[in-house]
Amino acid sequence: MPESASVTPDRLIEFILNHYILALALVVVTYLLIQELFDAAFKKFGFISPLLAVTKMNDGSTVVIDVRESDEFNKGHIEGAINFPLSKIREHASSLDAYKNNPALIVCQDGARSATAGKLATKSGLKDVFVITGGMQAWQEDYKLPIKVNRKLKTGV
């Protein structure tokens, strides 16, 4: 191997100093990839589209947990959904015990709160947990699936 083509620590340091933006980008991308791999490996819940959620709901034992606040829930929710607002789910985590053996679908307005609720649900002992991607927004607007509007609050807490 010619001497000009060999990689020495001095040449590597020189390259990094001359191309610090590229080196920084490599470090950042590597960190993000490793973080994503760890998140995927240790995440104990999955994501499911609204259409696949309907298929899962056809199994009579599936429970739908809506983590929106009560006023959002009353404006429209999935038929048979139970309202466990995310703001109160931590203090009432024991209420989820009744659903440990059931597949659980978790939904919020746009999917942001559901991921947090999914983590809390798996920590509470639920085993088969899925977060509905896009939340109620996707359920109603993208997939045009039916909702139920009622004045009476069916709550889990």
Tell me, yes or no, if 70 is annotated catalytic: no
- Note whether 42 and 118 are within 8 A (CB): no
Q: pLDDT (tens digit, 9 = 90+) per residue, 62-87?
A: 999 999 999 999 999 999 999 999 99
What residue spans define the domains of the chain?
3-41, 44-142
pLDDT of residue 43: 79
Architecture of domain 44-142: 3-Layer(aba) Sandwich (3.40)
Residue 156's CB: how many other CB atoms inside 10 A?
18
Of the two residues 123 and 29, the one the predictor is more confident about is 29
pTM across the whole model: 0.73
Of the two residues 157 and 17, the one the predictor is more confident about is 17
Q: pLDDT (tens digit, 9 = 90+) per residue, 19-43?
A: 999 999 999 999 999 998 887 777 7
- Sheet hosting strand 129-132, strand order edge to edge: 45-48, 129-132, 104-107, 63-66, 82-83
What does the mean pLDDT of the chain come to?
90
Choose the catalytic residue: 63, 89, 104, 108: 108
